[in-house]
Structure 1
């Protein structure tokens, strides 16, 4: 799908949100006739449903305005939530046991319902407010004393604290939130939060900072959110997705992260600042089906200004290059294609795969109309060290260079003074694996491999040159395409893969195609090797779907062109 950027279309976001909320409410009411399908927990889902029901009850344009059935079901979910709360005031669920930040997600929704009920003054919501108010009061001590374990949790927990204060004023709650804020918001020079995650920016950091700003009167936090949204503008792709290859969280594995969840935030800041580029992004995000209508509708009730008409939209330039140096990311656009280059992996520093690190080995992506090259990776048969992940990136006007230096070693005998007759040596990680061999005390005999990938953007694609210096070993360039098309000029194997020995091949989706070639003539075995980090447990980060391989052997140099054709 190619993104449509018609900025003259009518702004139907408010009506779409109400319609989506009504549709979900109708489904809940129908399911509630059988308690087994009413949805008992988990706590976050029960709270979302209660929030939805209260929002449609109060929304004048909803088909369920003032519905007794809706209030009755909201009370049911409030009671379910009450029963799910542990004696500590926290909620149990998932593998984060007794978690203040995970509880914070639910308490933030509780806080918004309590505020909606208070503002409405509708006595029919008194019972819901009474149950939820008790939940909030029991949670407050744990939220006040509790800690976190990811960067975004600080803002989620702080948002819960200020909402609890809004419900029942207690200066200890705001003091604790200010203590977290005093650490400084983790937004970098690129305008991205430290986790570089679209998922956590849109669902946690941005909405949390906005509500903290409003309740504590800290307008500078709106400026932080605006910086993040501005940085995200360059990450919006022609298919309406947001780039995630550079993320340090789970969404680095999701090549398609929708822009739709950003609709409310771009709308909020577009109306606040009058920015036409934000208005454009708000319209594009709102062109997709509404995500989380309970949140959008509740926010529109709490902030009536969100219902106002957007400013005139200003679409992005069709020819532009964006760079995020801290993240090691470049997005280069022409009217023919969008090119993504990533050289900001954390693997070079950490030398491990770990939650919270950017470790995606994809270094190139290409959007060519409806044909999408999701990933280009370089795999090597070299000591089980896995695919190429750049440890250096250089960006010039006419080219982008990614480099990596690897130096695995063989180890010699220990010096006589370090030998132990019982053979009992320390367990040490030598970079590939760990063993009881005191590797750090042994002489090293290194086997270096230097890899340089030069990417030269061209009007319809890019020229990719792989240059290697080191011992003889096989390598494979893997070109992984988005499903929905078919290869031309080659016959794929049963698993959907193609080995390109010579010439070129195309992957076509409708009128658009991406061409790759030429092959190198190499007879090296094709395939992808995830590396020892995955292999030793039988795991993998390999991609599926349509894939094309170009093989080669080190040392040497090979150039492959990838381009959009029609």
Structure 2
């Protein structure tokens, strides 16, 4: 089990690497902090404070590490603007949210240096306090960009309120809190970022909950942490395949912020599941970071882990947001396509030990499968339909035990003649008239249904679209580049793109395999217009023509075991999970 000593050793090793990136030129604007391309300024303050103050660190009370801390704090003060804010210098200038991120870490460091009461830290303590007091005005009046920023600001305001007892800080925090939480009943934050922003929202709101006694904040945190128990793959990586932020499709694990908030809430709620999740986080390398040690040093009793809890359940089927439908692109015109709002889009999670399946509404990549070491990172249906690329489905509907249906009806049309009023209103300048104001002509509707059946050793995809004949289609499957693909019916179009013209294709990674069938070759287009391939993935396309009533199968297994073909009436596994 992870200990503070383990964290200290890891941070010592990290410092051995990072110290080469600390700017040592006294003439540089960034003197004393990390090269901005390497890390954030609060990171070095967090790391240096922990290594200097922890008694098991080889840097414990060493003057050289104190100098690192003091120089980093001096840079922090130099970088603070008249508003009280700092900048994320490659993006957000004079930024209240980035100031709040920094206040979160630096206020905890301030608590730590006050707690240890080392006389030589008094000058650093005063400098940190100066930065924090200067930041108050910027946070009292500053705004935000993204949904998670509200809760980062609330957490920073709460920490400052605990330190300085300024009622204005509490009042400002409640201006955000009273807007309500952007979280679904199943526990999903707006940004759907399981790898990055979930723990940020949760951990920062924890401080708002504790400082203000705000039970609604704890309820939101609890809801999100409960949801996350269904969003781990067999290797304990986090489901990022439907994120709307930068962690999309990245292989990431529960990080140090997850570890901290699961520990804090496990002890607050006496919740065994949260203890289990914290234990999983403690087993991953990405969980070892300065913020975790900082919390552990400040709140040792609240960070203790119950080591006697059993393993997390890995056999369940859960459909999140099962009654929710989202808007998806239904047509293409010359104004381009807007990114849909996917907050609350249906997500199905199916786990059976080594098997992990995600079905996703609202996006073109509607399915992810992981079996052991194999990863099918996407499945999608591309169409030669007015340049739509691949279709998105607005919802997932449960139709039976382990049976689900996706349905969409994209529209194709053309633009008619503008009215005289529209021309006069825009002085004949056609570029000022939105294309969608034109009357639609030649309107066509294409119903598409996909029935998905999950069995013990295979998934069957029954694709049906037969309203309009002779349309070109392509069923696409994309696999992690770490494996290899083979099959007698494969035709290689590019180094990373194959067509399956007949038979089956087998993707292997280590001892595990995924098998896709059947292949077909009903047209010779390499890809459908406007369909974007997944960078770095091994792509497999199966070319079809409407009327389309085809059944595709993805099966899984290990070397030395036979594949089981899924047929009508095949036994379905018991659905032992429950909806949230």
Q: TM-score, normalised by structure 1?
A: 0.86
Three-state SS of the structure 1 residue aligned to 2:43 is helix
Tell me the distance in 1 between the aligned counterparts of 2:212 and 2:82: 30
Instruction: Report the equivalent of 1:496.
Output: 496
Shift of the 563–138 alpha-carbon distance from structure 1 to 2, 3 Å rule, reads: same
> 318-327 or 490-499, which moves further after superposition?
490-499
On the 8 A contact 1:450/1:470 being kept in 2, the answer is no
Q: Which moved more, 1:416-425 or 1:444-453?
A: 416-425
Q: Trace 1:444-483 onto structure 2 (pairs within 5 A).
A: 444-468=441-465, 469-483=467-481
Displacement after TM superposition at 1:272 (Å): 3.0
2: CA distance between counterparts of 1:63 and 1:272?
A: 33
Distance 1:457 1:443, change over 3 A: closer
Instruction: Write the distance in 2 (CA, Å) between the matches of 1:312 and 1:223.
Output: 26
Write the distance in 2 (CA, Å) between the matches of 1:163 and 1:428: 51
SS class of match (2:547)? strand
Partner SS, residue 557 of structure 1? strand
1:63 to 58, 62, 67: 58
Residue 386 of structure 1 corresponds to 389
Indicate the SS of the match to 1:106: helix
Paired position in structure 2 for 1:16: 6
Instruction: State the partner residue of 2:145.
Output: 149
- Matched with 2:535 is 543
Aligned partner of 1:348 in structure 2 is: none
> Is the Cα contact below 8 Å between 1:41 and 1:81 reproduced in 2?
no
TM-score w.r.t. length of structure 2:
0.84
Larger mean Cα displacement after TM superposition, 69-78 or 493-502: 493-502
Unaligned runs of 5+ in 1: 1-10, 346-359, 431-438, 532-539
1:61–1:441 distance in 2 versus 1, CA, 3 Å: same
Partner of 1:332: 350
Three-state SS of the structure 1 residue aligned to 2:387 is coil
- Distance change in 2, residues 1:168/1:94 (3 Å): same
Between 62-71 and 26-35, the greater mean CA deviation after superposition: 26-35
Give 2:122's aligned residue: 126
Quote the offset at 1:201 in angstroms.
Answer: 3.5
Give distance in 2, aligned partners of 1:283 and 1:298.
18
- For 2:228, which of 228, 232, 239 is the aligned residue? 232
Deviation at 1:337, TM superposition (A): 2.0
Q: Equivalent residue for 1:427?
A: 432
| Aligned with 2:484 (options 483, 486, 489) | 486
Q: Does 1:301 align with 2:306?
A: no
CA distance in 2, matches of 1:72, 1:422: 68
Counterparts of 1:52-91 in structure 2, within 5 Å, are 52-91=47-86
Q: Contact between 1:279 and 1:314, CA under 8 Å: does it hold in 2?
A: no
Q: Shift of residue 328 of structure 1? A: 0.6
Shift in CA distance, 443/554, structure 1 to aligned 2, threshold 3 Å: same
Distance 1:59 1:478 in 2: 53
Give the Å deviation of 1:55: 1.5
Q: Tell me the alpha carbon deviations over residues 178-224 of structure 1, each in whole angstroms, 9 at most, x when there is no partner.
A: 22111122221111112221144344201101112222233443332
2:578 maps to none
Q: How does 1:136-175 map to 2 (within 5 A)?
A: 136-175=132-171
* Residue matched to 1:8: none
Distance change in 2, residues 1:175/1:422 (3 Å): closer
5+ residue gaps, structure 2, are 322-343, 559-580
Q: What corresponds to 1:222 in structure 2? A: 218
Give the Cα separation in 1 of the matches to 2:198 and 2:109: 21
Counterpart in 2 of 1:254? 249
Residue 367 of structure 2 corresponds to: 364
1:402 matched residue in structure 2: 406
Of the structure 1 ranges 242-251 and 294-303, higher mean CA displacement relative to structure 2 is found in 242-251
What displacement does 1:520 show? 3.0
Comparing 444-453 and 214-223, the one that deviates more: 214-223
Deviations, residues 381-438 of structure 1 (Å, cap 9, x unaligned): 21112211112321232311111111121133345666659743463444xxxxxxxx
